[in-house]
């Protein structure tokens, strides 16, 4: 392999597809991951994550010598940081992975290099990393190009969206922005929108917070309608007939590693100002708790009505329909909460997108629906929409599986 033009630090759901895409455009990419298993898998031309078309892209890039993985970085011209940014303690962002990745490349940097953070980051992270870099390498001050460019791809469609989505690119100065734009221009067809680093950082956080707030509105309506004895699904359908109203659908909470996480990056830094954003997080979390309580109440009611304990089907564990990802999943939280209150009832836990789970014993959705007295739909998986439920079942449809399919 020739000297790489690009070092990609972090070879996960975002870093690996991006590395493969850049390599497909005939730039030499040196991928770095701290996990040696991931490095070995990639060097064999294979992948460790599930993403359509990624296997082919990686196999091709590795076999043609444009992509190589390692646990340590090497000298290049462009460095991309795509490592995790989880939260810690009381919902505070943890940028230690970004810091560690940056420290690893500081000794390799030279004049005119381009350093880009793609990890979702709290506002000011790019400036903090600039200070870290120039603190260690003062001779390079103002001579590097430092920028932030967030990623907004949809898992499952990453290879298409990486190329075709618009991107927001913000440098710490004009020169850095221009340099980053000319880098992305090589492999992105979407429009590249120039701004500064702080705005680009906030833009990513605001996109996901906006989704969270809109879902919270729908979830709040579902709570109000339950008390007011109004069918929330019918209500939303009717309200959306207004030409300028577009209410989303309620569910049993909000999950995943983006929408359920990123708003905290704003709330943690701007607690007084981010009232709606913080409240939306609370509402979406509360909705999951409320669903678990509803199941508990239905259990007790069944016992009163029938003089025996019910059997219960808990339908879905994933954080959204038709995927196998359980990260930050409200459905998983509800199942855990319901099982904590178990009192000799039979439970059938269903997740059609995974074969086994290390904690829950899974049952097929058909068997669960046939055997259970109470059926609680937690995720609107496509399999559930085709079910014929007999009239004697108690159905708790938290995500519109039955109602929206009539
Ligand atoms: N996955 C998505 O859909 C998505 C979408 C938009 C933005 N993001 C953001 O992109 C970033 C990366 O997310 P992801 O889903 O690719 O994460 P991931 O966990 O799939 O991958 C990150 C990789 O980085 C590696 N890593 C951690 N520290 C490292 C270090 N110091 N040096 C080298 N490698 C290191 C890990 O081993 C892991 O393989 C996060 O900030 C995330 O919020 C993710």
Q: CA geometry: angle at 151 spanning 148 and 152, to 5°?
A: 140
Relative to the CA of 101, which ligand 1 atom is closest? 31
* Same domain for 273 and 128: no
- Encode 160-209 in three state secondary structure: HHHHHCCEEEEECCHHHHHHHHHHHHCCCCCCEEEEEHHHHHHHHHHHHH
Residue 230 lies in a domain: no
Residue 303 lies in a domain: yes
CA 33 to ligand 1 center in whole angstroms: 10
* Same domain for 182 and 61: yes
pLDDT at 1: 66
* Same domain for 180 and 39: yes
* Same domain for 191 and 259: no
Q: Is the C-beta atom of 119 inside 6 A of ligand 1?
A: yes
* Same domain for 375 and 256: yes
Of the residues 195, 219, 239, the one at which a domain ends: 195
DSSP string, 293-343: HHHHHHHHHHHHHHSSPPEEEEE--SSSTT----TT-HHHHHHHHHHHT--
pLDDT at 341: 92
Residue 245 lies in a domain: no
pLDDT at 296: 97
Q: Long-range pairs for 388-391 at CB < 8 Å and ≥24 separation?
A: none
Residue 216 lies in a domain: no
Rounded to whole angstroms, the maximal C-alpha distance in the chain is 80
Which residue segment(s) compose the domain that 120 sits in?
6-195
CA 231 to ligand 1 center in whole angstroms: 41
Q: What b/e string do you get for 205-220 counting C-beta neighbours within 10 Å, with b at 16 or more?
A: bbbbbebbbebbebbb
* Same domain for 290 and 190: no
* Same domain for 282 and 173: no
Low-confidence ranges of the chain (pLDDT < 70): 1, 404-406
* Same domain for 373 and 263: yes
pLDDT at 257: 85
Of the residues 148, 172, 195, the one at which a domain ends: 195
* Same domain for 180 and 264: no
CATH number for 366: 3.40.50.720
pLDDT tens-digit map of 62-115: 999 999 999 999 999 999 999 999 888 878 899 999 999 999 999 999 999 999
Alpha-carbon gap, residue 273 to 345, rounded angstroms:
46
Tally of domains in the chain: 2
Residue 398 lies in a domain: yes
CA 196 to ligand 1 center in whole angstroms: 23
Alpha-carbon gap, residue 101 to 9, rounded angstroms:
7
Residue with structure tokens 């929108």?
193
- pTM, 2 dp: 0.92
Relative to the CA of 15, which ligand 1 atom is closest? 16
Alpha-carbon gap, residue 163 to 88, rounded angstroms:
32
* Same domain for 185 and 260: no
Q: Is the C-beta atom of 379 inside 6 A of ligand 1?
A: no
Residue 400 lies in a domain: yes
Helix or strand holding residue 371 (H, E)? helix 365-371
Residue 260 lies in a domain: yes
Q: Is the C-beta atom of 400 inside 6 A of ligand 1?
A: no
* Same domain for 190 and 101: yes
Residue 204 lies in a domain: no
pLDDT at 405: 61
Of the residues 195, 224, 259, the one at which a domain ends: 195
Relative to the CA of 16, which ligand 1 atom is closest? 16
CA 295 to ligand 1 center in whole angstroms: 36
């Amino acid at each position: 392999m020739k000297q790489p033009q690009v070092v990609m630090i972090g070879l996960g759901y975002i870093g690996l597809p991006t590395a493969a895409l850049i390599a497909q455009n005939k730039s030499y990419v040196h991928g770095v991951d701290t996990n040696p298993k991931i490095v070995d898998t990639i060097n064999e031309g294979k992948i460790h994550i599930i993403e359509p078309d990624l296997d082919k892209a990686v196999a091709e890039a590795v076999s043609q010598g444009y992509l190589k993985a390692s646990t340590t970085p090497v000298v290049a011209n462009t460095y991309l940081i795509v490592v995790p940014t989880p939260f810690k303690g009381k919902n505070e962002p943890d940028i230690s992975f970004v810091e560690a990745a940056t420290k690893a490349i500081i000794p390799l940097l030279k004049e005119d290099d381009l350093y880009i953070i793609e990890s979702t980051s709290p506002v000011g992270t790019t400036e903090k990393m600039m200070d870290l870099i120039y603190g260690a390498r003062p001779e390079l001050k103002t001579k590097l190009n430092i920028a932030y460019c967030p990623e907004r791809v949809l898992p499952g469609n990453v290879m298409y969206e990486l190329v075709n989505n618009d991107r927001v690119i913000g440098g710490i100065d004009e020169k850095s922005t221009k340099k980053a734009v000319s880098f992305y221009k090589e492999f992105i067809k979407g429009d590249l929108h120039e701004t500064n680093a702080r705005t680009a950082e906030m833009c990513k956080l605001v996109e996901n917070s906006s989704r969270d707030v809109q879902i919270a509105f729908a979830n709040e309506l579902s709570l109000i309608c339950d008390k007011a004895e109004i069918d929330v699904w019918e209500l939303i359908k009717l309200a959306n007939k207004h030409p300028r109203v577009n209410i989303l659908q309620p569910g049993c909470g909000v999950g995943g590693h983006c929408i359920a996480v990123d708003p905290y990056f704003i709330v943690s830094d701007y607690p007084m100002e981010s009232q709606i954003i913080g409240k939306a997080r609370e509402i979406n979390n509360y909705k999951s708790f409320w669903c678990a309580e509803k199941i508990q109440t239905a259990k007790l009611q069944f016992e009163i009505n029938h003089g025996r304990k019910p059997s219960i089907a808990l339908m879905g564990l994933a954080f959204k329909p038709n995927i196998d990802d359980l990260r930050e999943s409200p459905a998983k939280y509800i199942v855990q909460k319901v099982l904590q209150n178990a009192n000799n009832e039979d439970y059938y836990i269903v997740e059609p997108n995974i074969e086994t789970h290390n904690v829950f014993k899974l049952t097929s959705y058909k068997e669960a629906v046939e055997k259970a007295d109470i059926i609680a739909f937690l995720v609107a998986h496509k399999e559930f929409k085709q079910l014929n439920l007999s009239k004697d079942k108690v159905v708790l449809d938290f995500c519109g599986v039955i109602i929206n399919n009539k």
